[in-house]
Amino acid sequence: MTEPDDDLSLEMVTAALRMDSADVAVYARVLSRSLSEALPPDYVTVERERSVSDRMHGRPGEIAKVAIRLGDQLMTLAVKNGQPSAEICREVRGVVLSRQNVPLQQWATALASALVVHAESNAQAAEALRRLVTGS
């Protein structure tokens, strides 16, 4: 990430995370798929709610919550009745030390910042961010 053409700026990552945020359910689906494909499995957790119809037809159901863990930061986006609930937590050894509810755009900016900081010290995370930003 030292070559200028290869740098991932905070603005680029933030823009990638803010795409499609008008419809929260679609945003959660795109975000969970993008981050799940781009980051290692233990970084992203997705909780789904499945109706009886979903189970009968083998559908995965609607996303209820997406959690992204980066170091001691846990960032969650829950969707309930089409309304977002974004939260940033500081967690150490399974104990939540602080919890802050924030607006969706602030959450996306904080997530982008945390991803960029994490990518500076982790080559795999840097490559994942490149894939997220470029869409490949």
> Tell me, what's the pLDDT at 133?
66
Beta bridge partner(s), residue 132: none
92 lies in which domain range? 4-134
15 or 122: whose pLDDT is higher?
Answer: 122
**Domain count for the chain:** 1
Contact 47, 63 (CB under 8 A): yes
Percent of the chain residues topping a pLDDT of 90: 22
Q: Where are the beta strands (DSSP E) in 15-130?
A: 44-49, 62-70, 73-80, 83-92, 95-102
Rounded alpha-carbon distances, angstroms, from residue 60 to 29, 44, 45, 49, 132? 11, 17, 14, 8, 23
Mean pLDDT along residues 93-118 = 87
Query: With a threshold of 0.85, does the pTM exceed it?
Result: no
Q: What is the pLDDT of residues 19-49, one digit of tens each?
A: 445 577 777 887 788 788 777 778 899 999 8
